[in-house]
Chains A and B, each alone.
Chain A
Amino acid sequence: MSSLNQILHITLINLRNVPRRLGTSLVVVVGIAGVVGVLVSVLAMGEGFRHTLASTGRPTRVIMLRAGSDAEMSSGVGRDQATLLGALPGVARDDAGRPLVSAELFVMVDLPRQGQSDPNNVPFRGVQPAAFAIRDEVRIIEGRHYERGVREVIVGRKAAREFAGLGVGSRIAFRDSDWTVVGTFESGGDVHESEIWADAEVAMSAFRRSGFQSVTAALADLTDSGLADLRASIARDRRLSINVLREPEYYAKQASILSKLIGVLGYSVATFMAIGATFGALNCMYSAIASRQTEIATLRAIGFGGAPVVVSVMIEALALALIGGVLGATLAYVYCDGASLSTLNFNTFSQVAFDFRVTPGLLARGLVWALLIGAAGGLLPAIRAARVPVTVALRTA
C-alpha cells in the first residue's frame, strides 16, 4: 500500500472517531476559537482606526503647518502668513482664478458621549469657503450648509453618532454663544467625519483667535517636483516658516501611536492565549492517541508505517484547529465588523470615531494562527504515537 493511501485511511479512521471524543475535541476548538476571536477583533479595531486616518486626504492636496509642529492642534499660522501662502504659484486655482486654499482654525470643544456626561475633546474646524471645493468628498447628507457669517455648524456623520446633542436642529453652547446644528456631512469615512465644521471667520471671533492652525491647499503641479517647488518658494520667503506635507503623509503620521498600541495589545494578548490553547491542544491530542493506543499499535503491527500515523494525528489536530479558527473568525466578524467606537487619538489629543474593520487579511492571519497552534499541539503527541513500540503499546493498553 502506498504511504499516501495509508495516510488517507488512518486519517479517515481518526476523523470518524472524533465525535466519540467530543469533549476533548471541543477543548481544542473552543481554545483556538478564543485566540482567533480575540486576535481578529482587537486587530480589527486597529485596522479600522488606521483605515480611517489612511483614507483621509488626497495626495493632490497639501497641509501646511508651522515648522516644528507635528499636529494641527499645536500649530499656528498667522493671518498674514495664510494670505502669503494662498498667493504662491504652487497652489491650484479654480476657473475664476481664485486660489484653492483654505486657512483653518482647529480647536477642541467639550461634548459628552451619547448617554454620558463626561466631556470629550471633540475637534472643531473653522474652514474657509474654498474648503468644499478642495475637499470634494465632503457631502451634506442631512440638512443644509451653514450660512457664512452666522453661528451655524455642520457635523460629521460619526461625530453626530458618537456625541450627544449634535442632531440637525439642536443647539450647542460653546464659548460665548450658542451655535445651531444645521446639517450633517459625510466624507468617505475619513477622520473629518469626527469633526464639527463652521465658517472660519465666525469661529475665530467666537473663540477669540487671531490666527489659524493650518492651511490646506490643492497642488497646482501634482508631481513631487511641483511639491518641491512649492517648498522652495516657501523657504525663499523669510516671512514664512512653514512645513508642507501631502495630506496622506500627514494623516498617516497621526495614527502612529495608537496603531502601535493596539497592535502591541492585540498580539501580546493573543500570544498568551495561544500558549494556553497550545497546552489545551496538547492535552487533547495526547488523550486522543491514548484512547486509540491499541488501534494504532494494531495498524502498525499489520504493516502501516510510523509516518502515516504521525501525519494522520497532525491532520486531525489541524482539522480541529481549522474549525476553531473559522469559528473564532466568524464570531469576530459577526460581532465586531462595522461596530463603531470613538477614542482619544494620542497624536492629536482629540477624539476620533471609527468602525471596526474585519478584513480578509485579518481573517487569514487568524486562520494561520489557528493552524500554527494546531500544529504545535499535534506534533509531540503524533511523534509519541508513532514511537511507542508496538509490543509495549499492545500490552499496556
Chain B
Amino acid sequence: MKYLPLVWSQLFRRKTRTVLTLLSVLVAFLLFGLLQAVQIAFESGADSADAKRLLTTARYSIIEPLPMSYALRMERVQGVVAVAYADWFGAKYQNESNAFAVFAVDPARYLDMYPEFEIAPAQREAFMKTRTGAVAGKRLMDRYGWKVGQKLPISSEIHAKTDGSLDWEFDLVGVFDAEDPAVRANTDVVLINVAYFDEARQSGRGKTGWYITRIADADQARTIAADVDRLFMNSPDETKTAPEKEFAVGFAKQIGDLGALVTRILLAVFFTILILTGNTMAQAIRERIPELAILKTLGFSNVTVTALVLGEAALLLGIGATLGMLTAVSIIPGLNSATGGRFPPLFVHAETFVLAAVVALALALAVGLPPALRVHRLRIVEALAGHR
C-alpha cells in the first residue's frame, strides 16, 4: 500500500496517454454493465420465479385454452396449497397491438398467488367487488398517465363481446407495484376481473389460458407437476406442468441465445481493450526502463519492481472498470425512463459487479505480466547502458 503514490505517479507520467486509455477502458466496462443489464432484464423472469409456483398450460401449445373447471380438481392434488388462473386478453390500446399484457383473472386467487405485487387493501377489495374492475402496474399507470377511478378503454384482438364488438371498457380501481427490480418487469400488466370478462365474451366461455399453483414444498415440484398432468391425461385437454422458473427460462430461450450474442460482442470489446491497454503498458514500461533499473539499483528487489508494474496495470484497469460500472449505474435510470417503460426495467445486478472485477483483474494480468516479467529479468547494467 505504501507504494501506491509511486504507482500512481508512474501511471500518470504521460497524462494524455493514460487518460485516453482510461476512457477506452471506461467505455468498455460501461458497455459491459449495460449489456449485462439487458441480458438480465430479458432473463429476469427466471430470477424472480418462485420455486413454490408451478405453471400449467395446454400440453401441445400455450395458445390452446384449458377448462376453468380444472382449478377445483387441481386444488385437491396432494401438496397443492392454492390455484390461480389467467387468460390472455390480446390487448390493443390506442391502436397499438400488444402495447401491454392484459390478463383476465380471478382477483383474489391471482393476487394471493403473487404476494410480491403490492396493492393497497382497499383497492384489492374494490377489484374483487367490481365486476368490470381492473388494476394496473404502476409503470403502466405512469407511462399512460392513468388515474385510479377512471374508465379504461382497451380493445381486444382476440375476444369479441356478445354484441360482436372488440372494444371493451373497464373501471380502473387499483394500482400495484413491486419493490424488487427483477419483479417489477412482471408488473407491466393490466389485470381484469374474469367474472365480467367470461360472461361478456362471445366465445371461449368457461375456458382459461393457464394455471398457476402454489405448492407447500419446493422439493416436491416434480412429483406434484407429474400428479397434476396425470389428472388430465387422456382427457380432451391434456396439460403440461412445470416450475415457474423452467417456464421463464424456456421463454427466454425462445428468443434465442441472447447470452451468446452478448458474450460475443463483449469478447470483441475486451479483445480490443486488451490490445489497447497492452500497447499502452508496453510503451510506458519501455520508456521507463532506465528508471526501473535505477529503482533496482536503489535496492528494490526484483519481486517488488515486478509488483510495481503489475500494480500499475491493475490500477489502470481498476480505475477504468470502476468508473465504467459507476457510469452504467448512473445512466440506467435515465435509460429506463427514456424507454417509457416499454422495455423491462434495467438494473445492474450484484453478480455483474463481481464479474466486472474478475474481467478487470484478468485483463490486468494479461497486459501487466509480459512487461512485468521483462522488468523482472532486467539487468541493471544492461538497462542503464542500453539507453543514452
A contact set with B: CB distance below 8 Å: 23-24, 26-27, 30-31, 34, 37-38, 42, 68-71, 73-76, 107-110, 113, 116, 118-121, 173-175, 207-208, 241, 265, 269, 272-273, 275-277, 279-280, 282-283, 286-287, 341-344, 346-347, 351
Contacts and interface: CB of A to CB of B under 8 A. Distances in A.
B255 A344 contact: yes
A27 B279 contact: yes
B15 to A, nearest CB: 11
Given A121-B62, A175-B64, A287-B17, A276 B28 contact: yes
Nearest to A270: B265
Contact of B24 (A109, A120, A208, A279): A279
A208 B276 CA distance: 62
Contacts of B20: 279-280, 282-283, 286
Contacts, number: 138
A256 B28 CA distance: 30
B145 interface: no
A27 B274 CA distance: 9
B30 interface: yes
B337 interface: no
A279 B166 CA distance: 56
Chain B, interface size: which category? 35 or more
B24 A276 contact: yes
B150 interface: no
Interface string B9-44: 000000011001101100110110011001000000
A341 to B, nearest CB: 7
B272 A31 contact: yes
Given A68-B166, A109-B60, A283-B21, A121 B254 contact: yes
Contact of A74 (B158, B272, B275): B158
A174 B60 contact: yes
A70 B17 contact: no
Given A341-B256, A344-B256, A23 B59 contact: no
A42 B279 CA distance: 28
A80 to B, nearest CB: 14
Interface in B158-178: 158, 164, 166
A265 B155 CA distance: 31
A269 B282 contact: no
Contacts of A287: 17, 283
Nearest to A261: B343
Contacts of A113: 253
Contacts of A341: 256
Nearest to A45: B261
A328 to B, nearest CB: 9
Contacts of A277: 24, 272
B17 A34 contact: no
A73 B60 CA distance: 16
B356 interface: no
Nearest to B18: A283
A186 to B, nearest CB: 22
Contacts of A351: 254
B164 A71 contact: no
Interface string B201-214: 00000000000000
Contacts of B92: 68, 70
Contact of A110 (B60, B249, B279): B60
Contact of A23 (B164, B255, B283): B283
Given A273-B272, A283-B280, A121 B61 contact: yes
A174 to B, nearest CB: 5
Closest 6 CB pairs of A and B: A74-B157, A276-B27, A118-B250, A34-B272, A70-B97, A283-B20
Nearest to A175: B60
Contacts of A38: 265, 268-269
A343 B38 CA distance: 17
A226 B64 CA distance: 38
B157 A34 contact: no
B341 interface: no
A26 B61 contact: no
Nearest to B19: A279
B254 A71 contact: no
Nearest to B238: A175
B16 A286 contact: yes
B79 interface: no
B226 interface: no
Contacts of B24: 31, 276-277, 279-280, 283
Given A37-B268, A269-B35, A269-B265, A118 B276 contact: no
Given A24-B283, A31-B275, A68-B155, A273 B269 contact: yes
B59 A175 contact: yes
Contacts of A71: 97, 157
Contacts of A110: 60-62
Nearest to B30: A272
Contact of A279 (B21, B38, B64, B254): B21
Contacts of B272: 30-31, 34, 273, 276-277, 280
Contacts of A76: 158
Contacts of B275: 26-27, 30-31
A387 B273 CA distance: 31
B279 A23 contact: yes
Contacts of B259: none
Given A70-B97, A347-B97, A30 B17 contact: no
A170 to B, nearest CB: 17
A283 B273 CA distance: 13
Contacts of B30: 272
Interface in B198-250: 236, 238, 249-250
Interface string B130-164: 00000000000000000000000001011000001
A204 to B, nearest CB: 14
A75 B92 CA distance: 13
Contacts of B61: 107-110, 121, 175
A215 to B, nearest CB: 17
